[in-house]
Amino acid sequence: MKNKAQNIIQFLVVLGILFLLNLLAQKFYTYIDLTEDKRFTIEESTNGLLRDVDENILVEILLDGDLDANFRQLQSRVLEILKQFKSINANIDFKLTNPSEGSIDDINQTRENLRKDNILPTTVFLAEKDQRVEKLIYPYAIVNLGERRIAIDLLEPMKRGGSETQAINTSMILLEYKFASAIQKLFSKRVPNVVFTKGNGELKEEQTAMLELTLGQTMATERINLDSTYQISQNVDVLIVARPTQEISLRNKFIIDQYIMNGGKVIWLVEQFFIDLDSINNNKVYLPRPIEHGLDDMFFKYGVRMNKNVILDLENSKIPQVYGMKGGKPQQQLFSWVYHPLLIANADNPIVRNIDRVFSTFPSSINLLDERTELESSVLLTSSKYSRYQIYPSINISFEIMRLEQRPEAYNKPNLPVAVMVEGQFESFFKNRVSESMTNGLQSINAEFKSKSPRTSQIFMTDSDIIKNLYKNDRISPMGFNKYEGFEYKGNKEFIINAIDYLLDEYGLVDSRSKNLKVRMLDQVEATSHKLKWQLINIALPILLVILGGLFFSFLRKKKYTS
């Protein structure tokens, strides 16, 4: 009887200890990252941001409900990383919400509200009672700070030739950056200003509407006519010059130059030629006319040369062409169009690492001038390894090229840079050449000429279609949307948003995009042929070890008290 009471007491003590440990585990989250690539270790830049957060932030995770193994894994990683965030700062909390839960009316209302925020479901197929059942899930999270909120797309697109497993792995790698970036935008005490230039034939507001709508969630956007100002305010965090088609005057170049010399950051989207499909369609052979933007000499001073050429690439998007007639009506089919390359991200640059292909039209190549040793240059986007170029003035563009077989060996100019970044201290283009009118202009605004900038950054691209949306009947397409294929290349949006975020990044959060992704694929042959063995190892063996451990300690206890 005494032994029985003692056993009950021991059992209750063990139960109490386990209960206490469970409470402590919920309050104090800790982990050990044993992975080779340290994919589960929070970057110090993210730690610095989280420690500074002094307001309550709630993350609403919509990825819930009936999920397959891959999405369950993604959900698990989301919960893990938010637990890590909460262990660093208790002001950060999270909860799971299933948008497909409730009455039919409630579900429909929830889905409509999410649609208004451009949060759209993903269709998955699950096996239920030997049937494939279609389900809608929302791989999103919403970060809330007071009345402000940012939606995060947790799921990276499946790349060409890739698998869902690889897409999920990439998604998990980028979670820290996505959450940290959203928190930084909400937490920032000052709203960043992104300004587009106008007055020189740049892209119109309706052509950049989707980019401005996206930025408008956390930033202020506006347009500035350089002819109507003497100085670009240093309150402008990023200046975007998007496809000037008229020559930028020396006066306006001076205004931009001095903005840079005062630490300003610029994104240049400068095309070299007037080319579009309508022009080619109206001419059997189209000879493109150069755009005289007047920026080449200025770019050379900043360490960049935009070449007068057009890139052709065997990895490209498609356009329709008439291939015959039927019943008196033309028959169309989509054909590969080598002048619309699908650009590749530089895997070594954290700004663009792991992003999908970027849709482009008639881009030119860029040369980085290595003699500018005080500047640091890096390539962001390139053509594929199957590319070449045509040099002006011998550029002849015709749809006839689609009738010819393209020989890969002729595409022998691989990985031509289309977007680059230059960082460092820039020397003024106007050093030793400031005119009297420029000096008088500076004096009128109580400013002085600066010949060298503090450390700052500029990004150069040769195709404005990277950021452009289509606009028709008050409807705005996504960036990177090919209307002929009916397909959105999500890399376009990722690229420009990442680029702007990098230029605004105070904490260095881009470090969290630098983690290497090593996908360790499951050996399907081994898993299938030895299915029972692996089931026993993963299910039965842990249970057996627990039982053996219990019997061993019971044996030791009996031996101790009977001796």
DSSP state of 227: G
Neighbours of 447 (CB within 10 A): 13
Q: What is the pLDDT of residue 539?
A: 79
Q: What is the pLDDT of residue 29?
A: 54
HSE value, Cβ hemisphere, 13 Å, CA-based, for 219:
21
Long-range contacts of 407-415 (CB under 8 A, 24+ apart): 408/314, 411/312, 411/313, 411/314, 411/386, 411/387, 412/388, 413/383, 413/387, 413/388, 413/389, 414/383, 414/384, 414/385, 414/386, 414/387, 415/344, 415/382, 415/383, 415/384, 415/385, 415/387
pLDDT in tens, the chain (563 residues): 555 666 666 666 666 666 666 665 555 555 565 555 566 688 899 999 999 999 999 999 999 988 888 889 999 999 999 999 999 999 999 999 999 888 999 989 999 999 888 898 888 777 666 677 778 899 999 999 988 899 999 998 877 767 788 888 889 989 999 999 999 999 888 899 999 999 999 999 999 999 999 999 889 999 999 999 999 999 999 999 999 999 999 999 999 999 999 999 999 999 999 998 988 888 888 999 999 999 999 999 999 999 999 999 999 999 998 877 777 777 788 999 999 999 999 999 999 988 999 999 999 999 998 766 689 999 999 999 999 999 999 899 999 898 888 999 999 999 999 999 999 999 999 999 999 889 888 888 889 999 999 999 999 999 999 999 999 888 899 999 999 999 999 999 999 999 999 999 988 888 787 766 554 545 555 556 667 777 777 777 778 877 777 777 667 766 666 66
Domain map of the chain by residue range? Answer: 31-187, 193-489, 525-562
pTM of the entire predicted model: 0.83
Rounded to whole angstroms, what are the CA distances from 284 to 99, 228, 280, 317, 401? 54, 42, 7, 21, 11
Looking at 3.40.30, 3.30.1600, 1.10.287, 3.30.70, the CATH number of the domain 31-187 comes to 3.40.30
The per-residue b/e assignment along 158-186, b for 16 or more CB within 10 angstroms, e otherwise, is eeeeeeebbbbbbbbbbbbbbbbbbbbbb
